[in-house]
Structure 1
Amino acid sequence: MSARIPVILVDDHSVVREGLRAVLEEEGDLDVVADFANARDAIAAVAALRPRVAVLDLKMPDSDPVQNIRGLRAAWPALEILVFTSFAEDSLVRDVLAAGATGYLLKDALSSDLVAAVRQVAAGVPWLHSTVQRQLVARLRAPGDDGVALTARELSVLRLIAQGLSNKAIARELSLTEGTVKGYVSQILQKMGINDRTQAAMIAVRKGLVRP
């Protein structure tokens, strides 16, 4: 049996933490090792707990979301952060992804989406709620923003390119064939009007699609 994925919960509402714990602990591979009502306590404890994933609420009293993410990752660099929030403002999404969050899930998501997001983020693979994906697509389509229009799947491939993954590794992460991934890469480069993956990765970082 493979090792369980240790998870911490950070949310100022106890009922939310209880609900998250109930959903996640129904899964045999997920283990909620602690929960916290504020980021300060989570940051102080995270190195001792050594979790793989933090499910983090953004808007908590007297708390800055970007600093919370940076603080958690500084205290325990192996941590992957799944933002779990009711808010999807474009600027907030950009800021938290740039700060180091790996996933962004809205609280209207199904419990199955929460479980899938935790597993994917634990593997270091970005997970974005469909609403957030649409916002990122809109950003890439916006006038004056290089005129690039990528689909949600192409954005997923682009993020993995920017993380340095090969076509074979991307295919494994997204459950696609290597040939399909090659096709997506060609489409991305053509739409961006560039010739190589390095340029694509630099643009993805500049647009805030992946952490630098």
Structure 2
Amino acid sequence: MTIKVLLVDDHLVVLKGLRFFLQTQSHIELVGEAQNGEEALQKINQMHPDVVLIDVMMPKMDGIEATRHITQNYPNIKVIILTSFSDQDYVLPAIKAGAHGYQLKDVEPDILVETIEAVMDGQKKLHPAVTNQLMTHMVDDEKTIDILTSREATVLKHITYGQSNKEIAAELSISEKTVKTHITNIFGKMEVQDRTQAALYAIKHKWFD
């Protein structure tokens, strides 16, 4: 399957470099470029990308606000933040806005491709520095694993292994629909928004040590 990508960055040299690299990937099609969030939203309506690679700091509309618009209005489009900033002032708002991936511009090209493929597969893909920021700044409200049922805890443990819903279902001999129900309950009890936050919280608080 060809993955259609829209690039969004206000630095022309960055766009040129990304354009050159992505055009070498047989399974990735570069469908358009934009230099700010407003232009990106216009291009989305025209180009219908699968993935948007977007910077954070841009004129007119920044990447975080654009991400919020995209995830709310185009839920099937995956958004990957590609920026130079890894501090919490950018990381946390981007994740809360719904970004599916967050990579720094020093990322190796093959890791960038892996990130694009991962988000298309429904996974989150974060730069290690970003993961550290999330783990450091997650609010500690003293939740314990006891808030979960034994089955929910088992599902969460598999989430920390990076397994997909399909893999968890096969491992536990249950349906994917049942896995999704457990995950919805887990998110509600843990007060998190996605599996990445749930996994990071469980790891940080040593729920499965």
Report the TM-score, using the length of structure 1 for normalisation.
0.70
| 3-state SS of 1:33 partner | strand
Q: 1:45 to 1:122 in 2, by over 3 A?
A: same
Give the aligned partner of residue 66 of structure 2: 68
* C-alpha distance after superposition, 1:173-193 (max 9, x if no partner): xxxx937xxxxxxxxxxxxxx
Whole-Å separation in 2 of the counterparts to 1:8 and 1:71? 15
- Unaligned 5+ segments in structure 1 are 149-153, 172-176, 180-195
* C-alpha distance after superposition, 1:48-86 (max 9, x if no partner): 211100000011123333321122334533210000001
8 Å contact kept, 1:11–1:37? yes
Whole-Å separation in 2 of the counterparts to 1:65 and 1:113? 21
Give the aligned partner of residue 146 of structure 1: 142
Whole-Å separation in 2 of the counterparts to 1:53 and 1:38? 16
Q: 1:157 to 1:17 in 2, by over 3 A?
A: same
Q: 1:47 to 1:169 in 2, by over 3 A?
A: farther
Query: Which AA in structure 1 matches 2:193?
Result: V
2:4 aligns with one of 3, 6, 9: 6
Q: 1:169 to 1:206 in 2, by over 3 A?
A: closer
RMSD: 3.2
Q: 1:114 to 1:206 in 2, by over 3 A?
A: closer
Shift of 1:125: 1.2
Shift of 1:208: 8.5
1:157 aligns with one of 152, 156, 159: 159
Give the aligned partner of residue 27 of structure 2: 29
2:102 aligns with one of 84, 101, 104: 104
Query: Which AA in structure 1 matches 2:85?
Result: F
* C-alpha distance after superposition, 1:131-181 (max 9, x if no partner): 1112222235x7x44277xxxxx89925979xxx63x4358xxxxx937xx
Give the aligned partner of residue 201 of structure 2: none
Whole-Å separation in 2 of the counterparts to 1:113 and 1:155? 25
Give the aligned partner of residue 197 of structure 2: 209
8 Å contact kept, 2:71–2:97? no
Percent identity of paired positions between Structure 1 and Structure 2:
29
* Count of matched residue positions in the alignment of Structure 1 and Structure 2: 177
Query: Which AA in structure 2 matches 1:205?
Result: Q
Shift of 1:11: 0.1
The one of the two structures with greater contact order (alpha-carbon pairs below 8 A, sep at least 6) is: 1
Q: 1:75 to 1:107 in 2, by over 3 A?
A: same
| 3-state SS of 1:157 partner | helix
Shift of 1:206: 8.6
**1:200 equivalent in alignment to 2:186:** yes
Whole-Å separation in 2 of the counterparts to 1:124 and 1:4? 16
Q: 1:74 to 1:134 in 2, by over 3 A?
A: closer
Q: 1:209 to 1:5 in 2, by over 3 A?
A: same
Query: Which AA in structure 2 matches 1:82?
Result: I
Give the aligned partner of residue 77 of structure 2: 79
